[in-house]
């Protein structure tokens, strides 16, 4: 990552004045900080678990908290061991991108670093031989934690710029779709009406002709559906909210796209899950697309699994498959129009899913699932006033 010909990490170091002297001071602090790491980490996660907004980013319960504690322990050790090089920067940037991926608001990232800063300040003041030494060491720690924040903020900026680019592409895509959709509807209408007339005159009693008419009619339907999908991505359809059981949403999609031969489908959604406030017709289309994609990915002999669980103020429905997974190079662009992993796909299904879920006040993202392939998490808002 370079900025004006200079690596961003070098620029950050130069800006805060981080030097070899600071590196030596940090290495010298390691043995004094090490005995305090465990209580610092425990207090850190007590802060998170005690705040509903920050806690919402932790969706895996206490097992996930224990894993995150291990990650934080490694992060803190890295603060005092270095080396503070490009590899260090890349590791910190990956952590920042993970925060972006789980939608951790920036304010919680800021306050989390401040909690660590406060603890380290106490440790240094309590263990330094004199106040002058403590001030020097605290200055080095402040420089490093400011660099950590700068790296993480840069990952949020990367995400912001990416979203802006996607919005611009979507706007351009919308103008193109509106024009193409209008131009194609007319000739397709002519084909449909002409086909109706020809069936009554030319095709009567001739099975071969009838079979070809059926093919033409089928392809006209496919073309109309593609146009409708493109238009649905860019236009705002009104949301008619109803209180719907999560299991009913998935069941209505199963009726449209039942499991294919040789594919095992398991649905593990408790009937006791509270209702969600969504447009059932629109959400059915989402799960139709997700199930169809999962069947394609799993293939004959594969497995597709749909699970549901209650989070704080929303229900999560997870569609996962046993297929080969998603290429990391395309993972971040899956919800952009015309981006697809299928050899015969046109890349409209997932953008349409995202558009619908966004309209209904939910979120959809790629995540890890119980099966080795791809997994899509759809989170939908609970009925207002529900209390568990």
**Domains of the chain, residue spans:** 2-165, 167-234, 242-381
Q: Residue 339: is its pLDDT beyond 60?
A: no
Query: What is the mean pLDDT of the segment spanning 23-42?
Result: 89
Q: How far is CA 128 from CA 25, 121, 153, 189, 220, in A?
A: 12, 10, 31, 83, 79
Cβ atoms 75, 95 nearer than 8 A: yes
The answer as to CATH 3.90.1150.10 being correct for domain 242-381 is: no
Segment (H or E) for 114: helix 106-127
pLDDT band with cut points at 50, 70 and 90 for residue 360: confident
Cβ atoms 281, 338 nearer than 8 A: no
d(CA 212, CA 53): 59
d(CA 348, CA 232): 10
d(CA 306, CA 325): 16
d(CA 1, CA 151): 11
Closest CA to 98 of 118, 68, 70: 68
Residues 6 or more apart from 240 whose CB is under 8 A from it? Answer: 279, 281
Phi and psi based region of residue 4 (left: phi greater than 0; alpha: psi -120 to 50; beta: remaining): left
CA angle in degrees (0–180, nearest 5) for 327-294-360: 95
Residue 271 CB neighbour total at 10 angstroms: 8
Superfamily of domain 2-165: Globins (1.10.490.10)
The structure's pTM equals 0.48
Secondary structure of residue 379 in the 3-state scheme: strand
DSSP 364: E
Cβ atoms 62, 48 nearer than 8 A: no
Per-residue 3-state assignment (H helix, E strand, C coil) for 328-345: HHHHCCCCCCCCCCCCCC
Average pLDDT, the chain: 78
Output the pLDDT for position 388: 52
Beta bridge mates, 276: 244, 382
Q: Residue 55: is its pLDDT beyond 70?
A: no
Output the pLDDT for position 165: 67
The residue among 257 and 386 whose pLDDT is bigger is: 257
Output the pLDDT for position 124: 92
Read off the pLDDT of residues 299-329 as tens digits, 9 standing for 90 and up. Answer: 888 888 888 888 877 888 898 888 887 777 6
Beta bridge mates, 264: 303
Query: What is the mean pLDDT of the segment spanning 336-342?
Result: 57
Cβ atoms 373, 379 nearer than 8 A: no
Residue 112 CA from chain centroid, whole number: 22
Read off the pLDDT of residues 188-247 as tens digits, 9 standing for 90 and up. Answer: 777 777 777 777 776 566 777 777 787 887 777 777 766 666 666 556 667 788 888 888
Read off the pLDDT of residues 166-184 as tens digits, 9 standing for 90 and up. Answer: 666 666 666 666 666 666 7
Tell me the DSSP string of 55-108: HTT--SHHHHHHHHHHHHHHHHHHHHH---SHHHHHHHHHHHHHHHHTT--HHH
d(CA 143, CA 127): 20
pLDDT band with cut points at 50, 70 and 90 for residue 136: very high
């Amino acid at each position: 990552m370079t900025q004006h010909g200079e690596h961003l990490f070098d620029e950050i170091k130069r800006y805060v004045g981080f030097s070899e002297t600071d590196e030596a001071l940090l290495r010298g602090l390691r043995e004094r900080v090490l005995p305090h790491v465990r209580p610092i980490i425990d207090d850190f996660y007590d802060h998170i678990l005690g705040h509903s907004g920050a806690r919402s980013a932790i969706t895996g319960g206490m097992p996930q908290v224990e894993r995150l504690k291990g990650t934080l322990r490694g992060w803190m050790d890295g603060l005092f061991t270095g080396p503070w090089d490009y590899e260090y920067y890349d590791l910190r940037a990956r952590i920042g991108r993970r925060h972006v991926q789980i939608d951790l608001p920036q304010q919680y990232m800021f306050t989390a670093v401040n909690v660590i800063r406060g603890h380290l300040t106490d440790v240094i003041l309590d263990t330094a031989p004199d106040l002058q030494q403590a001030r020097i060491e605290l200055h080095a720690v402040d420089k490093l934690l400011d660099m950590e924040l700068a790296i993480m903020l840069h990952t949020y900026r990367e995400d912001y710029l990416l979203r802006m680019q996607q919005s611009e592409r979507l706007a351009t895509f919308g103008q193109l779709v509106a024009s193409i959709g209008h131009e194609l509807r007319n000739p397709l209408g002519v084909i449909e009406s002409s086909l109706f007339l020809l069936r009554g005159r030319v095709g009567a009693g001739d099975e071969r002709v009838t079979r070809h008419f059926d093919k033409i009619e089928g392809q006209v339907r496919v073309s109309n559906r593609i146009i409708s999908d493109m238009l649905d991505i860019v236009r705002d359809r009104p949301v008619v909210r109803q209180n719907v059981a999560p299991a009913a949403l998935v069941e209505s999609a199963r009726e449209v796209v039942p499991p294919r031969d040789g594919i095992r489908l398991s649905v593990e959604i408790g009937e006791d899950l509270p209702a969600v406030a969504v447009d059932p017709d629109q959400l059915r289309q989402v799960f139709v697309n997700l199930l169809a994609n999962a069947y394609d990915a799993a293939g004959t002999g594969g497995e597709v699994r749909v699970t549901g669980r209650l989070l704080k103020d929303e229900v999560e429905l997870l569609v996962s498959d046993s297929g080969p997974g998603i290429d990391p190079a395309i993972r971040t662009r899956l919800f952009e129009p015309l981006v697809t992993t299928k050899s015969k796909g046109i890349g409209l299904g997932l953008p349409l899913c995202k558009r619908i879920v966004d309209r209904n006040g939910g979120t959809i993202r790629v995540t890890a699932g119980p099966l080795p392939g791809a997994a899509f998490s759809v989170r939908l808002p609970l009925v207002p006033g529900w209390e568990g």
